[in-house]
């Protein structure tokens, strides 16, 4: 395993002293500058038990010419609606392998949500505003979480098993080596991962000659 890109100094606390902490994992993700990393997706795939997928409906807004939230996890078979909260039109599209679609220039909320039936990452763009990027991580595991602003996420009540772990981020510099966690009985596992990311380059262009601002 290449330790340059992935460091685990995870500490395992066995449950004994802690009550009702069966099979919980607390994750903390940081970037190479030791800053907490938001929008990191962590997917656990159990080796020995089958999972049931319960797809749901989610929302990605367009607010001030950005996708909000910028990254979401959708369980395979789920759907996403794309309300436009701006008073201008947007044109949402994806050319990704996991889902190709477009919602031609519109205001308000399109009547039909978009279904996502194939696992993978769907990258959203907008035909009008080049900088707009959104990401839908379509997952085939219910044990999929995304980090908050503190770079933290947690999985609660995991059945005993060994789980293969996949870690993804929109700015990921290099695929992260495979790692696994094992849950045996009541325990709380704290894990920290370091993820090397690329900087984002985002240029917001003015709309038309009268615009002076870049946002
Ligand atoms: Cu747009």
What is the residue extent of each domain of the chain?
Answer: 19-49+142-195, 57-139
Architecture of the domain whose range is 57-139: Sandwich (2.60)
The reported pTM is: 0.85
How is residue 184 written in tokens? 């045996």
pLDDT tens digit string along 158-212? 999 999 999 999 999 988 888 999 999 899 999 999 999 998 877 776 655 445 5
Over residues 137-158, the mean pLDDT reads 97
The answer to which of 31-40, 115-124, 184-193 has the lowest mean pLDDT is: 184-193
Q: Which helix (H) or strand (E) holds 194?
A: strand 187-195
> What gap in Å lies between CA 15 and CA 1, rounded to an integer?
29
pLDDT score for 21: 44
Over residues 103-131, the mean pLDDT reads 95
Over residues 78-100, the mean pLDDT reads 97
pLDDT confidence tier of residue 17, bands split at 50, 70 and 90: very low
Q: Which is more confidently placed, 13 or 28?
A: 28
Over residues 50-74, the mean pLDDT reads 96
Q: Which is more confidently placed, 65 or 204?
A: 65
How is residue 174 written in tokens? 């290099």
What are the DSSP calls for the chain, one per residue? Answer: --TTT-----EEEEGGGSSS-BTEEEEEEEETTS-B-TT-EEEEEESSS-------EEE-EEETTEEESSEEEEETT-EEE--B-SSS-EEEEEEETTEEEEEEEESB--SSPEE--S-EEEEEEESS-TT--EEEEEES-S-EEE--TTSEEEE-SPPSEEEEEEEE-TTBSSPPPPEEEEE-SBEEEEEEEEE-BPPP---PPPSSTT-----
DSSP 117: -
Distance 52 CA to ligand 1 centre (A): 36
> What gap in Å lies between CA 169 and CA 137, rounded to an integer?
10
Distance 1 CA to ligand 1 centre (A): 42
pLDDT score for 16: 41
Contacts for 3 with CB less than 8 Å, ≥ 6 apart: none
Q: Tell me the pLDDT of the chain averaged across its residues.
A: 87
Whether residue 1 is predicted with pLDDT greater than 50 in this model: the reply is no
Beta-carbon neighbours within 5 Å of ion ligand 1: 90, 126, 128-129
Over residues 8-20, the mean pLDDT reads 39
Distance 196 CA to ligand 1 centre (A): 29
Distance 79 CA to ligand 1 centre (A): 20
Distance 32 CA to ligand 1 centre (A): 32
pLDDT score for 213: 53
Distance 211 CA to ligand 1 centre (A): 16
Distance 163 CA to ligand 1 centre (A): 39
Distance 90 CA to ligand 1 centre (A): 4
Please check whether the two domains, 19-49+142-195 and 57-139, share a CATH topology. Answer: yes
The answer to which of 43-47, 127-131, 181-185, 200-204 has the lowest mean pLDDT is: 200-204
Distance 132 CA to ligand 1 centre (A): 7
pLDDT score for 175: 83
Whether residue 84 is predicted with pLDDT greater than 50 in this model: the reply is yes
Distance 42 CA to ligand 1 centre (A): 29
**Nearest-CA neighbor of 40 among 188, 163, 172, 131?**
172
Q: Are 84 and 90 in contact (CB under 8 A)?
A: yes
Distance 25 CA to ligand 1 centre (A): 38
Determine the topology of domain 19-49+142-195 in CATH: Immunoglobulin-like (2.60.40)
Calculate what percentage of the chain has a pLDDT beyond 70: 85
């Amino acid at each position: 395993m290449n330790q340059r890109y992935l460091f685990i100094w995870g500490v395992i606390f066995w449950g004994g002293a802690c009550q009702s902490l069966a099979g919980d994992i607390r994750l903390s993700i940081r970037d190479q500058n030791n800053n907490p990393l938001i929008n990191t997706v962590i997917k656990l795939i159990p080796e020995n038990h089958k999972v049931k997928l319960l797809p749901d409906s989610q929302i990605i807004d367009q607010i001030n010419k950005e996708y909000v939230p910028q990254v979401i996890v959708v369980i395979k078979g789920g759907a996403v609606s794309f309300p436009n909260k701006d008073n201008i039109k947007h044109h949402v599209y994806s050319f990704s392998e996991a889902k190709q679609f477009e919602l031609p220039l519109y205001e308000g909320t399109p009547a039909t949500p978009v279904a996502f039936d194939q696992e993978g990452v769907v990258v959203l763009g907008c035909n009008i505003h080049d900088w707009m990027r959104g990401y839908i991580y379509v997952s085939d595991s219910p044990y999929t979480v995304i980090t908050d602003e503190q770079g933290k996420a947690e999985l609660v009540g995991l059945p005993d098993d060994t789980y293969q772990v996949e870690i993804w981020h929109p700015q990921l510099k290099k695929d992260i080596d495979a790692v696994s966690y094992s849950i045996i009985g009541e325990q709380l596992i704290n894990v920290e991962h370091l993820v090397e990311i690329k900087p984002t380059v985002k240029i917001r262009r003015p709309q038309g000659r009268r615009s002076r601002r870049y946002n």
